Structure 1
Amino acid sequence: MRDGRKRRARPAGAGSGRRPAAAVFFLNGLTLSTSIARQPSLKSAHHLSDGQVGMLGVLFAVAAIAAMQFVGPLVGRVGSRPVLRVSLVVLPLLLALVGLAGGFGALAAANTALGAVHGTTDAAMNAHAVAVERRTGRRVLSSCHAAWSVSAVVASLATAGLSRAGVPLTAHLVGAAAVLVVGGLALGPLLLPAAADRAPAPSGRKTGRPGGAWNGALVALGLAGTALMVCEGAALGWGPIFLHDSRGVSLGLAASAVTAYAGGQTAVRLVGDRLATRYGARTVFRTSGLVASLGLGVAVLTTAPAAAVAGFAVMGAGMSVLLPLAFSAVGQVEGMSAATALSRFTTFTYTGVLLGPAAVGWSAELTTLPRTLTALLPLLLTTTLLTPLPTPTRPEQPTPSGHLSAHASSEG
């Protein structure tokens, strides 16, 4: 009876927070992936030109990057839970507005707002996951990113099924939004309290003011994040085109390169936290980079279609933990709050997402696509071998009363 009263007396979010953090990634991924998967229907329904579709993408990305600049200081002041409780409800409502938009102007406005709230959610959810790592003393970012990957698969399968069943675009987006709003409302109270975001860094050092000055460690990790996303964007955006145009692979088999990449990435992310805990973040980061480079090399240098597709799967497996480990490392950067560091780092990664496919296309025009993809090999190797990860430390352990300990110990 006493234990039951204690459980009831615990404040909302006082548990470890690992599963709710992963659920945030899942809901965010479902929302964005549903929007992406319905792009062909959106283009057809509004009779959009390729240029208009491209403009929608640019507006979304610019709004996301702009919003990220304000998330760090905001989370530093009020905590990630209040931000996420609002954004997880507003985000699906904007998804519904995209489905209800009556013309290009309204569609552009809704899509821009969707990008801004997605950028806010993206930065806040990574900050929340870092807070969970500090509180539990266990790595969770890889499994959180795995939840995002799984959500993309779920959204694509659901979209395919509903499209075959003849469900209209508007009905799909509004229905999905209703489910996601319920999920966001239910999840909000389970998130860690705001105090978790203001906890000391794992090393016991202060992280600085919510704003904080830029420093070399963050810039180095940010540039690494940009390079990683350039390589990932090249594989996902240009891999199928490369297989079809340069290797003569059928369209169906060429498209399977994306599935292979995503499958390898998701599978390893599910165990990535355990690997980093057992062998150390630096060792796993370097090894994963070598595996990713090997996969990319096989994919672009072999002439056998099946081997090339397998190469993309191996690359996805190797790339799987690189970004989560980088996010975790950014949470240890000195001189600024973790939320600020993470929002700035996310700006770097979004830049890679935006520039990657375009840069590959420009380079392919000047040389060839096979040469361009091959040139990514030294970029990927250099990034993973030279990125300066902080000295591994163990996150803060909760005391029996549920408060964060101010003492830190080095990672074994």
Structure 2
Amino acid sequence: MMDTRVTDTRAKGTGAGSGRWPATAVFFLNGLTLSTAIARQPSLKSEHHLADGQVGALGLLFAVAAIVSMQFVGPLVARVGSRPVLRVSLVVMPLLLALVGLAGGFGALAAANTALGAVHGTTDAAMNAHAVAVERRGRRRILSGCHAAWSVSAVVASLATAGLSRAGVPLTAHFVGAAVVLVVGGLVLGPLLLPAAADRGSVPAPARRGSARGTRGAGGGWSRAFVALGLAGTALMVCEGAALGWGPIFLHDSRGVSLGLAATAVTAYAGGQTAVRVVGDRLATRYGAPKVFRAGGLVAAVGLGVAVLTAEPAASVAGFAVMGAGMSVLLPLAFSAVGQAQGMSAATAVSRFTTFTYAGVLLGPAAVGWAAELAGLTRTLAALLPVLLAVAVLTRLPRSLPVPEPAPAEMAHR
């Protein structure tokens, strides 16, 4: 019986109904929506005559709304499944993007941006929960590929924004046009996602036995191992935020390069990250998640060391590329491990873990700035080296994906 179930799940992982490509497409659509909004920030600031403080306030409202919404996603997905949540959010999120473009004043802009943040947070947690369910159902790693799709969407959005801006397309027309395309994409993609039974199949057995409904595990699960993974996620996002937010500033201020060359730090990091994410799932399947995670963390630390400690600008840019390559597998593997947490549903674990990572996104750039005021930017970035090394060496991940228990519908079918 056990051998049959393993064979069935592996077949699902490679067949047309595995859910891999729809799950990957969700990451692409979500990334395309958010990256479009981010890439147009300069236009938004100019058209609304916003002060720097107002732009910062909009970013804070967005992030806080996303974090708050994440607290409700786990129980919601455990109750109704990730597909219904994503079918709604993939349509509502582009509509809110259009609303941001149509907003007439700062108050309306803040309200629309806050709503966009809340729906993005919902989508972010639900899509990672859905990807975890696809992994467990098919016993095939897909999360690195999903995050690669998000990275690709950021490149697509930035290139599209650059072209439309040069062509003189107004921000409102851009957002409304993008919303139409994204809504159509969401409507087409929604029915292709795995049904709610897949999410129930991703609940660890102890949590499932804790309640007839399979949702009681949503309230507990704050084990030492889970908190350690959460703190590792926070540390990773602090390091990533430092590279993306402060890497160009470091090259310009500390290495004296031009603004144009300094910006290539972000391109190099994103390029290295995207390239390795494409093959990250295969690496983890072949060598095991613990080895790949440890190697990725060490490579990222080496890259950061080269970027910060070398005096040659070209070598620094190459260092950021190496850092991005090493960092590429760390977060997807952590999400996959969190989905196997005992004592709670996968959706609840993922939404809680996403809160940890968003804390790193929020606190990282600011913390680096405060520390740089006291110790200098070079020393501050160098201080992240032991952080990356500690995450690489101390984080414990399961080697393989567990065999999921069949959902009630599958049991009845058999």
Does residue 253 of the first structure (1) align with residue 261 of the second (2)? yes
Residues 53-132 of structure 1 correspond to what in structure 2 (within 5 A)? 53-132=55-134
Match of 1:349 among 326, 348, 357: 357
Q: Which residue of 2 aligns with 1:277?
A: 285
CA distance in 2, matches of 1:178, 1:356: 34
Cα pair distance change 1:402/1:41, threshold 3 Å:
same
Q: Could you tell me the TM-score, scaled by structure 1's length?
A: 0.92
CA contact (8 A) 1:233 1:353 kept: yes
CA shift for structure 1 position 215: 1.9
Aligned partner of 2:219 in structure 1 is 212
CA RMSD, 1 decimal: 1.9
- Alignment gaps of 5+ in structure 1: 1-12, 407-412
- Displacement of 1:396: 3.5
* Residue of structure 1 in register with 2:320 after alignment: 312
Q: Which residue of 1 aligns with 2:373?
A: 365
How far residue 200 of structure 1 moved from its aligned partner, in angstroms, is 4.8
Q: For residues 262-341 of structure 1, what are the structure 2 equivalents within 5 Å?
A: 262-341=270-349
Alignment correspondent of 1:169: 171
Aligned in 2, Cα 1:391/1:267: closer, same or farther, shift over 3 Å?
closer
Give 1:395 deviation, angstroms: 4.2
2:40 maps to which of 38, 45, 55: 38
Q: 1:388 is matched with which residue?
A: 396
Q: How much does 1:320 deviate? A: 0.1
**1:10 corresponds to:** none
Match of 1:211, SS state, is: helix
Note closer, same or farther for the CA distance 1:232–1:200 as it changes in structure 2 (3 Å cut): closer
Q: How many residues align?
A: 392
Output the amino acid matched with 2:318.
Answer: A
User: What is the alpha-carbon distance in structure 1 between the residues aligned to residue 148 and residue 111 of structure 2?
Assistant: 31
User: What is residue 150 of structure 1 aligned with on the other side?
Assistant: 152
Q: Which one of the candidate residues 172, 188, 191 is aligned to 1:189?
A: 191
State the match for 2:142 in structure 1: 140
Cα deviations across residues 339-359 of structure 1 (Å, max 9, x unaligned)?
A: 001000000000000000000
SS in 2 for 1:249: coil
Q: Secondary structure at the match of 1:48?
A: coil
- Would you say the 8 A contact 1:200–1:206 is kept in 2? no
Stretch of structure 1 that moved more, 214-223 or 373-382: 214-223
Are the counterparts in 1 of residues 296 and 327 from structure 2 also a CA contact under 8 Å? Answer: yes
Which protein has the bigger helix share?
Answer: 2
Per-residue CA deviations over 1:246-278 (Å, capped at 9, x if unaligned) read 011111111001000000000000000000000
Inter-partner Cα distance in structure 1 for 2:325 and 2:296: 8
- 8 A contact 1:77–1:210 mirrored in 2: no
Identity of aligned residues (%): 82
**2:26 counterpart residue number:** 24
Deviations 1:330-388 (A, max 9, x none): 00000000000100000000000000000000000011000000000001100111012
Deviation at 1:404, TM superposition (A): 7.8
**1:227 to 2:235 alignment:** yes
What residue is the counterpart of 1:3 in the other structure?
A: none
C-alpha contact 1:225 1:323 (8 A) present in aligned 2: yes
- Is the 8 Å Cα contact of residues 137 and 397 (structure 1) preserved in structure 2? no
Q: TM-score, normalised by structure 2?
A: 0.92
Structure 1 residue 212, shift from structure 2 partner: 2.5
Instruction: Give the aligned residue type for 1:355.
Output: L
**Shift in Å, 1:403:** 3.5
The Cα of 1:110 is off from its aligned counterpart by: 0.0
Amino acid at match of 1:326: A
